[in-house]
């Protein structure tokens, strides 16, 4: 992921230097387990533990010759070990995937914990915003067309619950990726005791793979990327709603616009929803990683490395982009401007047409058939669309023509938008308990 969208904490998790630090940690624990079992000399452990991790530059220089990243790492690390002979027992009985998959599990867990904290923060921001606007009336739209009265907090509550569910999916996915294996070539423990794997797993706080045929099956990683993609897409749903609300014709919502910010190089009046457009764009990047990662599940026999090149790109990109999306969506929601007056104006813009469904149900109480009641209501509505006259007036005319007398007190209640607020109390009671 490019630096523009990489936040420091998540960037460090996926840095080459941190990767080699984790590789050193895994290899040292394996060496320690061997020494405890008397398989390797006990005095080789401390020199290896004290050897600083090799730099990415040092590893890259060796890899130019070896064309093998793990061997290059082991060689460069051995160069930092004093005495160098102690490094001879590093990687004893292991295969490359033991190191790579176990260290990757640590990276995935670290990245997940960062994401979980930010997702929880966003849930709280969405929840609080929705509760603040539990009585802010707006028009609800279906197919982009005015439907019925709604409440802005109701819309945001849906986002809050969706993000909470997405966070909980990621918590479950954390269990699926926190899996390690130290089982040797072909995964049969032929040159390494299973007790070594158990020791390392306990020290790292990871779970031993149920089965490892050298490579840990990638279904858990595919689940993790899918969980990230859902989080990213919920962020996009929030951003898309705000983008619609900021359109000139709507003007109900405004993403934060800072002092000195410029909206357009050519049109000085512009306040464009650039943050929300960025969210929508980057969500595509996260979703795009699902299929390549999922295709790493089927591999040739016990091992090939067709998954490796994909994961070097897809996993950091998915994590870094999701981290940035959570950060940016939280920022937008914290600074979101809600124009309640404009929402009310838009609510009333169609002259009462948004009450047509309630009118239809009221007509049914006069013993009209549903077909006749629908026809009457639609005729009045079309008259309002065509002439701009209030729907209540055209409704009276159509009802009179049909020989029906409408109860004006009932119409007062039907055309009172506040009643829609009262019906949503249960939603906000549930929202108050959301954590």
Residue-wise pLDDT tens digits, 328-337: 999 999 999 9
Average pLDDT of span 189-205: 97
Q: Are residues 357 and 344 in the same domain?
A: no
Q: Are residues 190 and 207 in the same domain?
A: yes
When pLDDT is cut at 50, 70 and 90, the band that residue 265 belongs to is low
Q: Are residues 312 and 385 in the same domain?
A: no
pLDDT in tens, 369-417: 999 999 999 999 999 999 999 999 999 999 999 888 888 999 999 999 9
Q: Are residues 80 and 111 in the same domain?
A: no
Q: Are residues 376 and 388 in the same domain?
A: yes
Indicate if the pLDDT at residue 145 is higher than 90. yes
Q: Are residues 345 and 357 in the same domain?
A: no
Query: Catalytic residue among 264, 306, 309, 357, which?
Result: 264
- Is 226 in the active site? no
Query: What dihedral do alpha carbons 315, 320, 326, 331 form, nearest 10°?
Result: -170
Domain's final residue, options 71, 92, 113: 92
Weakest mean pLDDT among 98-112, 236-250, 296-310: 296-310
Q: How many CA atoms lie within 13 A of 11 on its CB side?
A: 9
Q: What pLDDT was estimated at residue 421?
A: 86
Q: Are residues 357 and 345 in the same domain?
A: no
Contacts of 83 (CB under 8 A, 6+ apart): 47
- Number of Cβ within a 10 Å radius of residue 269: 6
Domain's final residue, options 29, 61, 92: 92
Token digits of residue 230: 């859902």
Q: What pLDDT was estimated at residue 270?
A: 67
- Sign of the Cα torsion 314, 317, 320, 323 reads negative
Weakest mean pLDDT among 81-95, 128-142, 418-432: 418-432
Q: Which residue reads 């709507």 in tokens?
A: 250
Q: Are residues 109 and 173 in the same domain?
A: yes
Q: What is the mean pLDDT of the chain?
A: 94
Q: Are residues 378 and 314 in the same domain?
A: no
Q: How much of the chain exceeds pLDDT 90, in percent?
A: 89
When pLDDT is cut at 50, 70 and 90, the band that residue 271 belongs to is confident
Average pLDDT of span 196-202: 98
Domain's final residue, options 77, 92, 107: 92
Boundaries of domain holding 124 = 96-350+419-435
Q: Are residues 368 and 297 in the same domain?
A: no
Q: Are residues 135 and 100 in the same domain?
A: yes
- Is 143 in the active site? yes
Helices 306-334/219-246 angle, 10° precision: 30
CATH code of 29's domain: 1.10.275.10
CATH code of 322's domain: 1.20.200.10
| Domains contained in the chain, number | 3
Q: Are residues 198 and 282 in the same domain?
A: yes
Query: Catalytic residue among 18, 92, 97, 143, which?
Result: 143
Average pLDDT of span 349-362: 94
Q: Which residue reads 């390549």 in tokens?
A: 292
Which of the two residues, 221 and 365, has the higher pLDDT score?
Answer: 221
Q: Residue 360 in contact with residue 381, Cβ under 8 Å?
A: no
Q: What burial letters (b/e) apply to 182-213, b meaning 16+ CB within 10 Å?
A: bbbbebebeebbeebbebbbeebebebbeebb
Indicate if the pLDDT at residue 307 is higher than 80. yes
Q: Residue 167 in contact with residue 238, Cβ under 8 Å?
A: no
Model pTM?
0.93
Nearest C-alpha neighbor of 206 from the set 70, 14, 29, 36: 29
Indicate if the pLDDT at residue 38 is higher than 70. yes
């Amino acid at each position: 992921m490019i630096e523009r969208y990489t936040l420091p904490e998540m960037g460090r998790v996926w840095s080459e230097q941190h990767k080699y630090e984790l590789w050193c940690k895994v290899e040292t624990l394996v060496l320690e387990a061997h020494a405890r079992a008397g398989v390797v000399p006990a005095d080789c452990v401390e020199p290896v533990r004290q050897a600083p991790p090799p730099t990415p530059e040092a590893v890259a220089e060796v890899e130019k010759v070896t064309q093998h990243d793990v061997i290059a790492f082991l060689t460069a690390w051995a160069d930092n070990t004093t005495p160098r002979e102690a490094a001879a027992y590093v990687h004893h009985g292991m295969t490359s995937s033991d190191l790579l998959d176990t260290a990757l599990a640590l990276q995935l867990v670290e990245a997940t914990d960062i994401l979980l904290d930010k997702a929880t923060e966003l849930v709280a921001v969405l929840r609080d915003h929705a509760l603040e606007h539990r009585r802010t009336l707006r028009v609800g739209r279906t197919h982009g067309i005015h439907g019925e009265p709604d409440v802005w907090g109701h819309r945001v509550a849906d986002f809050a619950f969706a993000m909470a569910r997405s966070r909980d999916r990621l918590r479950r996915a954390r269990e699926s990726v926190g899996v390690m294996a130290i089982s040797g070539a072909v995964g049969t423990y032929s040159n390494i005791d299973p007790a070594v794997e158990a020791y390392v797993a306990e020290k790292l706080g990871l779970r031993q793979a149920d089965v490892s045929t050298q490579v840990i099956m990638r279904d858990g990683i595919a689940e993790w990327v899918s969980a990230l993609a859902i989080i990213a897409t919920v962020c996009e749903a929030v951003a898309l709603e705000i983008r619609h609300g900021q359109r000139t014709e709507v003007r109900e919502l405004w993403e934060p616009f800072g002092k000195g910010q410029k909206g357009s190089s050519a049109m000085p009046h512009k306040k464009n929803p650039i943050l929300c457009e960025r969210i929508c764009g980057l969500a595509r990047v996260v979703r795009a990683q699902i299929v390549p990662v999922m295709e790493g599940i089927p591999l040739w026999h016990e091992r090939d490395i067709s998954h490796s090149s994909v994961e070097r790109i897809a996993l950091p990109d998915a994590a870094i982009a999701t981290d940035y999306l959570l950060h940016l969506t939280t920022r937008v929601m914290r600074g979101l401007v809600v124009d309640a007056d404009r929402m009310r104006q838009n609510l009333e813009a169609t002259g009462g047409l948004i009450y047509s469904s309630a009118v239809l149900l009221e007509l049914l109480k006069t013993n009209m058939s549903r077909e006749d009641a629908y026809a009457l209501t639609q005729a009045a509505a079309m008259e309002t669309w065509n002439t701009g006259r209030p729907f209540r007036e055209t409704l009276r005319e159509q009802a009179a023509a049909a020989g029906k007398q409408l109860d004006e007190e009932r119409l007062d209640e039907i055309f009172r938008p506040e009643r829609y607020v009262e019906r949503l109390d249960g939603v906000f009671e549930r929202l108050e308990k959301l954590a």
